Amino acid sequence: MDDSSYTKLVPTPTPTSQPHWDGLNQHQYLLQKCIDCGRIRHYPRPVCDACFSMRYEWVAASGRGKLHSWTVTYHPFHPGWKEDLPYMLATVDLEEGVRMNARLRGVEQSDLKIGLPVRIDYETVKDGLTLPVLVADK
Amino acid sequence: MSLFEKAAVSGIGETEYVRGSGKSPIVMQMEASLKACADAGISPKDIDGVIPYGGAVVAEDFITNFGIQDLRFSATTPMGGASPVASVQCAVAMVAAGICKHVLIPLGRDGWSGARIGSRVQQMPQFKLIGEFEMPLGAIAPAQLYAPMARRHMELYGTTSRQLGSIAVSTRQHAILHGNATMTKPITIEDHQNSRMISDPLRLLDCSLESDGGAAVIISSAERARDLRQRPVYIMGVAEGHPDSPSTITQRPDLTRLGVAKAAPRAFAMAGVTHADIDVAEIYDCFTYIVMCQLEDLGFCKKGEGGAFVENGALGLGGRLPVNTHGGLLSQAHMAGINHVVELTRQLRGEGGKTQVADAEIGLVTGYGDMGDGSVAIMRRG
């Protein structure tokens, strides 16, 4: 894969979030789970806001969720996405009780509705970078 | 100690609002601040507190340029477009505590000539989680990040794009009458419906401008303000509020509830007034939807009823609640809401010109920014 051909924005993982990105490369969507109270949180951060514990483990999400809201973007806000227009962005309630945001593929705009079942798929976009993508969960 | 009427807006100043000023932000901020001092009838040297917006122009610039001998306070309120009204809260507290006599709140930017606001978001530390988890997936600009809030509201409550368009139309009408606004071509609901889709459901005419200009406000103690040149505009109630999951809208429990929902009850309680007492409102309008959502969160109508509240020109002059009598960020200029504070002051002085709301005694101004932070002030004419 030619890295120079990838012109979209790339993430800069932190020591806290790095395991999540490593998980994506293994086709797992990893979430932080508090070791002391069991609460699952996202996006990655150091402290559990329920019990203030800083001890956590990483657990894999089931990958299933339901559409919470969405947008369809037509304007080229960044040159890296110009060829993709228009594209759908979905905000999804995961079964684990947290949300995620990602491209939604393969769904007609007229079929979009709150509660639409979706699941996470994975796309390796460049060397060492895998992004989640959402598809209809039929 | 309540901050009720401890302070007043004593001076306001604005540059011309344009696209392409040929001036740097510091020049525009100095120009607006000097106008505000002249308006108040104080020497620039009398400023003893300053709350810059953040960015290139800092308190030290005002000490140097104005020859201020004893600046006693400076801070920033980093809340994006909620900053100017949150800065009013901060300034009121400073004069009420006796720390400052006159606090300057300046803002000026080259939003049209310089880096686009959308591109600046990537560099802001409060958005590091968006930068890591959402921008690489294609959710880059505020329009894309806010659109799911509007879409969810539409799906839950039946809110329509035409209702949002009504906000754009009345705001433009005010800009045309105002005299210092960048957008002066009349628009209709059909123009709004025909404007190109930016990020569904937000169309071009749902989005605010990128502008060059500057504005400034001076907050003085109520006692001192009475002896200054202008009729004081007293600050009756003021508060800020931060939404749950403040930086990432995606993780917010209720996508349709903004930080101002927490601030509004505090501000109304401090002011001791009800919604029916508000004669004019300047509501932060980075997008039409954000105006409607704030009107709900402020309590002017119930959650979900904002669409019906704003439609058919209800926010125009002579409507149920005149909103953004200067043309707002949608049609006057994007000055991050400091222009809303200036305009409310002008209205409550009776200096509103062609968009003056008759007999305006009490008004409300909000700020909104950084993905949902809110601020609100309720003021009355002196």
**What ipTM was estimated for this complex?**
0.96
CATH value at residue B349: 3.40.47.10
At position B188, the amino acid (one-letter code) is T
B9 — phi, psi (to 5°)?
A: -80, 120
What pLDDT is attached to residue B112? 85
Q: Is residue A8 included in any domain, yes or no?
A: no
Whether B202 maps to a domain, the answer reads: no
Q: Is residue B337 part of a domain?
A: yes
pLDDT digits (tens, 9 = 90+) for B249-302: 999 999 999 999 999 999 999 999 999 999 999 999 999 999 999 999 999 999
Nearest to B177 by CA among B335, B376, B327, B369: B327
> Using the beta-carbon criterion (under 8 Å), do A10 and B136 form an inter-chain contact?
yes
Model pLDDT, residue A2 = 53
Give B98-116 pLDDT, tens digit per residue. 999 999 999 999 888 876 6
Do residues A51 and A67 both lie within one domain? no
SS3 B366: strand
User: Do A130 and A102 form a contact (C-beta atoms < 8 A)?
Assistant: no
Average pLDDT over residues A67-77: 97
Q: What are the start-end ranges of the H helices in chain B?
A: 25-40, 59-66, 83-96, 117-120, 128-133, 142-157, 161-178, 189-194, 222-226, 260-271, 288-298, 306-310, 338-349
In a domain, A38, yes or no: yes
User: Is the residue at B36 inside a domain?
Assistant: yes
Domains of chain B: total = 1
Contact B34, B41 (CB under 8 A): no
Residue B119: inside a domain, yes or no?
no
Q: Which of A45, A89, A107, A133 is the mutation pick for testing B, counting most B CBs within 10 A? A: A89
Q: What is the pLDDT of residue B155?
A: 98
Choose the final residue of a domain: A26, A43, A60: A60
**Contact yes or no for A11 and B133 at CB 8 A:** yes
Q: Is the pLDDT of residue A132 over 60?
A: yes
**What pLDDT, on a 0 to 100 scale, did the predictor assign at position B116?**
62
Q: Does B116 touch chain A (CB under 8 A)?
A: no
Q: What is the pLDDT of residues B197-256, one digit of tens each?
A: 999 999 999 999 999 999 999 999 999 999 999 999 999 999 999 999 998 999 999 999
Q: Does A10 lie at the interface with B, CB-CB under 8 angstroms?
A: yes
Residues A87, A112 share a domain: yes
In a domain, A108, yes or no: yes
| Upper half-sphere CA count for residue B333 (Cβ side, 13 Å) | 29
Are A84 and A124 in a shared domain?
yes
Exposed/middle/buried for residue A40 (C-beta within 10 Å: 0-12, 13-18, 19+): middle
Distance from CA of B309 to the nearest CA of A (A): 23
Is residue A50 located within the same domain as residue A94? no
Task: Name B144's Cβ contacts closer than 8 Å, sequence gap at least 6.
Answer: A71, A73, A77, A89, B138, B199
Question: In this structure, are A33 and A83 located in the same domain?
Answer: no
B206 Cα to chain A: minimum distance (Å): 14
Angle at B151 (CA atoms; ends B148, B152), nearest 5 degrees: 85
Domain presence at residue B194: no
Closest CA to B8 of B35, B45, B40, B53: B40
pLDDT at B119 over 80: no
* Residue-number span of the structural domain to which B55 is assigned: 7-114+208-381
Kindly state whether residue A66 falls inside one of the protein's structural domains. yes
**Mean pLDDT over residues B322-339, rounded?**
97
Are residues A101 and B250, on separate chains, in Cβ contact within 8 Å? yes
Residue A1 lies in a domain: no
Supply the range of the domain harboring residue A21. 13-60
A56 and A115 share a domain? no
Over residues B22-53, the pLDDT tens digits come to 899 999 999 999 999 999 999 999 999 999 99
Is-contact A29 A120, C-beta < 8 A? yes
Residues A50 and A79 grouped into a single domain: no
| Distance in angstroms between the alpha carbons of the first and the last residue of chain B | 22
Q: How many domains does chain A have?
A: 2
Q: Is residue A3 part of a domain?
A: no
Q: Which two tokens stand for residue A114?
A: 């709150």
Residues A75 and A50 in one domain: no
Which of helix, strand or coil describes residue B265? Answer: helix
Residue B109 belongs to some domain of the structure: yes
Give the predicted TM-score (pTM) of the model: 0.97
Asked if the C-beta of A76 comes within 8 angstroms of chain B's C-beta atoms, the answer is no
A26 inside domain: yes
Hey, of B132, B156, B256, which one would you mutate to test binding to chain A, going by the most A CBs within 10 A of its CB? B132
Question: Is B45 part of a structural domain of the chain?
Answer: yes
A99 with A117, same domain: the answer is: yes
Partner A contacted by B121 (CB < 8 A): no
Q: Does any domain span residue B154?
A: no
Domain match, A55 and A74 both:
no
A2 domain residue, yes or no: no
Rounded Cα gap, residues B321 and B58, in angstroms? 37
A75 with A138, same domain?
Answer: yes
Q: Average pLDDT of chain B?
A: 96
